[in-house]
């Protein structure tokens, strides 16, 4: 027999999901709460429900407020396609495109701007519930949340501003065992924001061309960010977490335009492993707020320069002395990573200074070992190809390995005041700057040269 706890937004009796799917989903949630009013009935009572969104375009003018556990909202396709390329393509070219908007089970966020400008106010989906137990097991799966347009014209180019006050999913309350899987999020100032998460899974999503992609705020534990395709804007984070323990960040492919690929503040005993990270700017990985006892291992970091002409005037405001990896904290392990930097020297800031790859600003007991750093330079140019060729331009830039010459870098720099750190085989004697009277060092051997003195100070 059909389940009374399975809903289709196109079959709901009140409202028009194509005009305002938010009002329809709120009506369905109200019905679930009305029918599942008893907390303990036959050792159950509130099993929750699934809400299905078939493929199609659905405008959202009313914020969805979720205050029940065991709710799954699912579609039949994440529908992602690049809005950035579209908005940087001339109109005469767009006339020949097969499609110009995201598709699949697509929600078009049409929430009007609010004076407060708060992330929760501009959220398409707001999860919020007080009391005990924490709200649990809410799932978002396999649909697209599209912010439609960016709107900050202060720099004269609104669609490339990454700002519009819109958030895809905002989880404001302490939560347990949430799952966000198979989603497509595009052109939102904030993709996913979650406060006080426990055992959350954010897996296999396509979250890109958002001001910020994934933000774990407040505090949390034992969660996983994995197997996502992610790319934030130049003024935001691709992955951000604060005051977290037991966070696993693994298997993600992070695109290059975010202010930071991964930024952690006060995160401890967590792992960043097996990710591929690409950036156009320094500050790819940032530890702040005394991050401690974290493992950063077997990642591929790659930094080059923005090759696509419409975006070359933007950056994250950091210079190359900041470091590709900028670390504050104690007893972190940075091991067996491959770190590539390939950039024309004319684009380095400040000029005539060696860029820093790994910079330990503060802390003790950090262990940096067996990292392979490849630094090269060549004369590069931003592509003036048609905007529709953005894909080819960026792929050609990534694949460029010919005609490269060595770029002089500081492989590891440990600032004064940081002590009892160990650097092994992560840079030659001349590439590592630190006080070697209070930090331990073994240099990467250089063919034809004898190893440097362990007592030398740089």
User: Which of 212, 232, 252 is the endpoint of a domain?
Assistant: 232
323-353 pLDDT, tens per residue? 999 999 999 999 999 999 999 999 999 998 9
Beta-strand pair 135-136/64-66: unpaired
Domain shared by 318 and 177, yes or no: no
120/207 Cα distance (integer angstroms)? 19
Q: Say whether both 247 and 116 belong to one domain.
A: no
- pLDDT tens-place string over residues 115-160: 455 789 999 999 999 999 999 999 999 999 999 999 998 888 899 9
Do 179 and 305 share a structural domain? no
- Which tens digit of pLDDT belongs to each residue from 300-331? 999 999 887 878 888 999 999 999 999 999 99
Indicate the number of domains in the chain: 2
- Please, which residues bridge with residue 264 across strands? 241, 287
Helix (H) or strand (E) holding 216: strand 212-221
At which of 232, 261, 291 does a domain end? 232
The reply to whether 394 and 281 lie within a common domain is yes
**In terms of residue numbers, what domain contains 453?**
241-458
Is 225 in the same domain as 248?
A: no
CATH number of the domain residue 288 falls in: 2.160.20.10
Same domain, 224 and 245: no
Looking at the fold, whether 77 and 155 belong to one and the same domain comes out as yes
201 and 254 share a domain? no
pLDDT digits (tens, 9 = 90+) for 159-209: 999 999 999 999 999 999 999 999 999 999 999 999 999 999 999 999 999
Kind plus residue range of the DSSP H or E element containing 392:
helix 390-399
Picking from 232, 249, 281, the residue at the C-terminal end of a domain is: 232
Do 134 and 260 reside in the same domain of the chain?
A: no
Question: Are residues 211 and 272 located together in one domain of the fold?
Answer: no
Please check whether residues 265 and 209 belong to one and the same domain. no
Rg, Å, the chain Cα set: 24
| 129, 102: one domain | yes
């Amino acid at each position: 027999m059909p389940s009374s706890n399975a809903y289709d937004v196109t079959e709901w009796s009140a409202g028009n999901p194509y005009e305002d799917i938010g009002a329809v989903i709120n009506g369905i949630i109200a019905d679930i709460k009305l029918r599942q009013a008893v907390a303990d009935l036959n050792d159950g009572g509130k099993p929750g429900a699934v809400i299905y969104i078939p493929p199609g375009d659905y405008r959202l003018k009313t914020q969805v407020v979720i205050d029940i556990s065991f709710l799954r909202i699912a579609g039949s396709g994440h529908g992602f396609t690049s809005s950035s390329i579209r908005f940087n393509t001339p109109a005469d070219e767009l006339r020949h495109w097969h499609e110009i908007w995201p598709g699949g089970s697509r929600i078009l966020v049409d929430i009007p701007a609010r004076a407060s400008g708060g992330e929760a106010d501009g959220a398409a989906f707001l999860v919020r519930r007080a009391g005990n137990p924490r709200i649990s097991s809410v799932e978002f799966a396999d649909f697209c949340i599209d912010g439609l347009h960016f709107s900050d014209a202060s720099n004269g180019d609104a669609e490339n501003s990454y700002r519009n006050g819109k958030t895809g999913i905002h989880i404001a309350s302490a939560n347990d065992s949430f799952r966000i899987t198979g989603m497509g999020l595009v052109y939102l100032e904030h993709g996913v924001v979650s406060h006080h998460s426990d055992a959350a899974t954010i897996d296999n999503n396509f979250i890109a061309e958002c001001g910020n992609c994934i933000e774990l705020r407040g505090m949390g534990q034992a969660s996983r960010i994995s197997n996502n395709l992610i790319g934030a804007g130049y003024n935001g984070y691709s992955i951000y977490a604060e005051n977290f323990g037991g966070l696993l960040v693994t298997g993600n492919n992070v695109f290059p335009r975010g202010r930071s690929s991964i930024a952690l503040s006060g995160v401890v005993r967590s792992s960043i492993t097996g990710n591929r990270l690409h950036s156009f700017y320094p500050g790819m990985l940032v530890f702040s707020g005394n991050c401690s006892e974290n493992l950063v291992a077997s990642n591929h970091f790659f930094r080059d320069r923005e090759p696509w002409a419409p975006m070359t005037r933007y950056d994250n405001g950091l210079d190359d002395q900041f470091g590709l990896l900028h670390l504050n904290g104690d007893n972190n392990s940075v091991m067996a990573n491959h770190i590539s930097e390939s950039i024309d020297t004319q684009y380095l800031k400040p000029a005539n200074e060696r860029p820093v790859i790994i910079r330990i600003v503060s802390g003790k007991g950090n262990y940096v070992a067996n990292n392979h750093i490849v630094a090269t330079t060549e004369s590069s140019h931003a592509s003036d190809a048609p905007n529709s060729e953005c894909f080819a331009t960026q792929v050609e830039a990534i694949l460029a390995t010919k005609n490269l010459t060595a770029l002089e870098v500081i492989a590891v720099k440990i600032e004064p005041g940081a002590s009892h750190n160990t650097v092994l085989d992560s840079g030659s004697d001349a590439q590592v700057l630190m006080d070697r009277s209070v930090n331990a060092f073994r240099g990467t051997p250089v063919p034809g040269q004898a190893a440097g003195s362990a007592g030398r100070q740089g």
